[in-house]
Structure 1
């Protein structure tokens, strides 16, 4: 009875945290991977030592079960709207950037079969930011940074060029000179633009990614 009660008690806070915070689900995946690694090692040891303690199996299995349940609970957490339509351009860009970053820490957004998939939400953000750019509503340095991040997560070479232009302008102003993310983005957008054109990257910021050149 006690052995069953412990995981049930543990599941309550884990489930609550997974539902409230996106990062928890990612941490739970790490815990699952570590538990499975322990089980694998235990299996190897078991092959040579038949008297291996049952705790080597019971504890990792319990942790795995609790973490899997936590991840599943986390999938029921609703995502914020990808964009907002109220407020000025700065408000819209700040929200788009916030959800762009939050989505990339949320397991749910990576599940393509769901309506809230990353690709769909990226498309919604890109559509709004492109409209703001065409209407010349992106002028503040921090707005340019937020917009550049959205363009940076597109799939088109022309938009990478736009991202590099905006990120470079944001990184050049004195108020953002010491902002690491802003300075990194200026380099990353340049590299991504170059790679999309079949050229060598300069700063070594890019892994492989798909792109269409237009």
Structure 2
């Protein structure tokens, strides 16, 4: 009887810890998905073994409970609130950096890719509008600021946005201190490719049809 109480306590404690971690830490849900895949494969193998040799229910119970805990953690991650999409106070550089960082954080959350739970489109719209306002005020001077702005334009939805993104990214990539920055140099190629595709031309650097660092 005492053993059963210990098992129940362990289960609920694990459930509490996993759901808390999933709520607090961005991208933790992807770790849970990976664990679920491993456990699922393990259960399939157990079922195959069970066809030839009868196994005790215990062997299936533990993996199933782990699956349940993982599913709970993933569900909690879907209601994790987003940070602010933009900030309205601070310097131009601070606003641009924040917009870039929030853009990347959004794309490291599972909910952003599930229509019902996602606010990604609206948040991209807010970021892009802010960057357009800054650009119209002729306040994009620093190479790093141009990189941040290019990244936001890169997530626009028109060929004009992509053309501006390509121009800004190219200017940032020419800076002496950013010539060896992988992400800056990648963005120069990616924005140009995305612009070419948007106007019906073939991409040059082949960045849009394969996974690439921080593309989304």
If the length of structure 1 is used for normalisation, what is the TM-score? 0.88
* SS of corresponding position for 2:27: helix
CA distance in 1, matches of 2:136, 2:33: 41
Alignment pair present for 1:95 and 2:130: no
- Whether the 8 Å contact between 1:110 and 1:117 is mirrored in structure 2 is no
2:214 corresponds to: none
Count of aligned residue pairs for this structure pair? 206
2:70 corresponds to: 67
Alignment pair present for 1:58 and 2:38: no
Query: How far off its partner does 1:55 sit?
Result: 4.3
1:113 to 107, 112, 116: 116
1:34 to 34, 38, 56: 38
2:148 corresponds to: 146
Structure 2's unaligned 5+ residue stretches are 211-216
Structural RMSD (CA):
1.8
CA distance in 2, matches of 1:65, 1:11: 9
Change (3 A) 1:199 1:44: farther
1:212 corresponds to: none
Alignment pair present for 1:16 and 2:16: no
Change (3 A) 1:56 1:192: farther
CA distance in 1, matches of 2:197, 2:68: 42
Structure 1's unaligned 5+ residue stretches are 209-214
CA distance in 2, matches of 1:207, 1:122: 22
CA distance in 2, matches of 1:17, 1:153: 29
